[in-house]
Amino acid sequence: MTLIILVRHGQSQTNVQGILSDSYERYPLSENGVIQAQTVAKELAQKLKVSKLYSSPVFRARQTADIIGKAVGKEVILDSRLKERGWGLMEGKSAMLGAWRFNMSKAEAETVETWDSIKRRVNEFADDAAKDGGVVVGVSHVDTIAALAVRGFGIKDGELSIYALVSPFAAISVFGFDGDFKVIATGLPIIPDSVLEMAKPYMD
């Protein structure tokens, strides 16, 4: 079995300021975000042997991954399939707990990445990462992690708001591949014992 652990980035300036951004260069982690990243990095380093470490190239995710990489002794592999939703003309505008969906002009809406696009790319990443074997860690964002959870739970579009699947900052979501794809855990601050049992074959 391949275990894919997706970690949401730590709190960043986008979260503090309440804005939308997929910038690769701006909006670093906040002080709290750095602490959150250090905490999850320690959890991963103490409990698992990570085989590969991937990250969204968005700045806040890359910072989080760099902290994890130092703790687990792995180089960060940037993969744009894990990136934040592409915001187009909504870049830098107010997030407002999803209200952005109702406050866009038609021209703005046409530049925002669709849910289908997010699902397609993150599932492609997961299918490729499953070939790596062992314990694969990826640092990503709310929508991408939710998109993989939707697949694992078998949720159809319209059956559940993705806001029901929002992961806290630096939270751990675990997915298993052994011929079938399944959700093992979502949005947790620690690695559960069930995952440690599954990871035992990869600890030597």
What residues are annotated to the active site?
A: 9, 141
Q: Does the CA dihedral 34-35-40-43 come out positive or negative?
A: positive
Shortest CA distance to 31 belongs to which of 21, 16, 44?
16
DSSP labels, 172-191: EEEEEESSSEEEEEEEESS-
Kindly report the CA angle at 98 between 11 and 108, in degrees rounded to 5?
105
Q: Does the CA dihedral 186-115-12-134 come out positive or negative?
A: positive
Residue at token pair 């260069």: 25
Helices vs. strands in the chain: H and E counts, helices first: 7, 6
d(CA 92, CA 18) in angstroms, rounded, equals: 9
Starting at the edge strand that comes first in sequence, how are the strands of the sheet with 76-78 ordered? 76-78, 52-55, 135-140, 2-8, 172-177, 181-188
